[in-house]
C-alpha cells in the first residue's frame, strides 16, 4: 500500500513519529493509501526549512518558483 510522505526541504520524508492515517476512498469506503499523521515536530522541521530557504527563493520570479513546483511533482 502506498505511504505518502511529507515534502520538506526538497525531500520526501516520513513523519518523524512514524505514524500514518488511513486515506479512505469515500465512494467505496476502502483504504487506498496512508497519509502522514504529522505533528508539531514535523511542522517545526518544515518551518525551519522554509525559513532557511526564504532568502534565496524570495529573489526568484513567481513564474520560476511555479515552474519548479510543477516539475517537482509531475511524476
pLDDT in tens, 18-52: 999 999 999 999 999 999 999 999 999 999 999 99
Question: What is the chain's mean pLDDT, rounded?
Answer: 88
Domain that holds residue 62: 6-72
Backbone angles phi, psi at 41, to 5 degrees: -65, -40
Residue 43: name the closest of 22, 17, 65, 61 by CA. 17
Q: How many domains does one find in the chain? A: 1
- Cα gap 71→34, rounded to integer Å: 24
What proportion of the chain, given as a percentage, has pLDDT over 90? 68
Report the predicted TM-score, pTM, of the whole model to 2 decimal places. 0.74
Q: Give a yes or no: residue 30 inside a domain.
A: yes
Note whether residue 1 is domain-resident. Answer: no
Amino acid at each position: 500500500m502506498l505511504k505518502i510522505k511529507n515534502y520538506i526541504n526538497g525531500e520526501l520524508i516520513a513523519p518523524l513519529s512514524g505514524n500514518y492515517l488511513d486515506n479512505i476512498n469515500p465512494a467505496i469506503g476502502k483504504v487506498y493509501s496512508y497519509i502522514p499523521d504529522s505533528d508539531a515536530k514535523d511542522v517545526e522541521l518544515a518551518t525551519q526549512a522554509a525559513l532557511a530557504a526564504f532568502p534565496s527563493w524570495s529573489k526568484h520570479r513567481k513564474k520560476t518558483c511555479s515552474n519548479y513546483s510543477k516539475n517537482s511533482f509531475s511524476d
